[in-house]
C-alpha cells in the first residue's frame, strides 16, 4: 500500500516539478516567467482544455453507441446518462481552461499598463 501511495503522490507532483525544471527553476522553487512565457502557458492551458473536450467527445460518442447497443438491457440508460454527463463536464472543463487563459491574458495586460505607468513616472521624475 505504501508503494502505491508513493507512486500516486509522485504522479501528482511530477508535472509541476517537471515544468519548473524545464523552465530552468529548481524543483519546488517559485517559477518566474516573462510575459511571452506566460502568454504561451495561457495558450497551452486553453489548448489542453480543448484537447480534453475533444477526447471526451469521442468517449461520449462511444458511450452513446454502447447505450444504443445495450438499449434492451438495464445498463443502457445508465450508459446514455454517462455520455451526457461526460460531454457536459468536458464542455465545462474547456470553458474553465479558456477562462483561465483569458484571465492570464488580462493580468498580463494590466501588468503591462502598470509597467508603462511606472516607466513614465520614473522618466518624469528623472527629467
Contact assessment for residue 46 and residue 93, using Cβ atoms and an 8 Å cutoff? no
pLDDT digits (tens, 9 = 90+) for 66-84: 999 998 888 989 999 999 9
Confidence at residue 54, expressed as pLDDT on a 0 to 100 scale: 93
- Lowest mean per-residue pLDDT among 19-23, 31-35, 55-59: 19-23
Mean pLDDT confidence for 18-39: 61
Confidence at residue 126, expressed as pLDDT on a 0 to 100 scale: 85
Residue 59: pLDDT band (50, 70, 90) is very high
Amino acid at each position: 500500500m505504501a508503494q502505491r501511495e508513493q507512486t500516486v503522490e509522485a504522479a501528482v507532483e511530477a508535472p509541476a516539478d517537471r515544468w519548473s525544471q524545464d523552465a530552468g527553476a529548481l524543483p519546488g522553487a517559485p517559477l518566474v516567467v516573462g510575459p511571452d512565457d506566460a502568454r504561451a502557458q495561457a495558450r497551452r492551458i486553453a489548448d489542453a482544455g480543448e484537447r480534453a473536450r475533444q477526447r471526451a467527445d469521442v468517449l461520449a460518442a462511444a458511450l452513446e453507441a454502447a447505450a444504443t447497443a445495450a438499449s434492451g438491457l438495464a445498463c443502457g440508460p445508465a450508459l446514455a446518462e454517462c455520455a451526457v454527463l461526460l460531454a457536459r463536464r468536458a464542455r465545462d472543463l474547456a470553458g474553465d481552461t479558456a477562462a483561465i487563459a483569458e484571465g492570464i491574458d488580462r493580468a498580463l495586460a494590466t501588468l503591462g499598463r502598470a509597467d508603462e505607468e511606472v516607466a513614465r513616472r520614473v522618466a518624469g521624475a528623472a527629467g
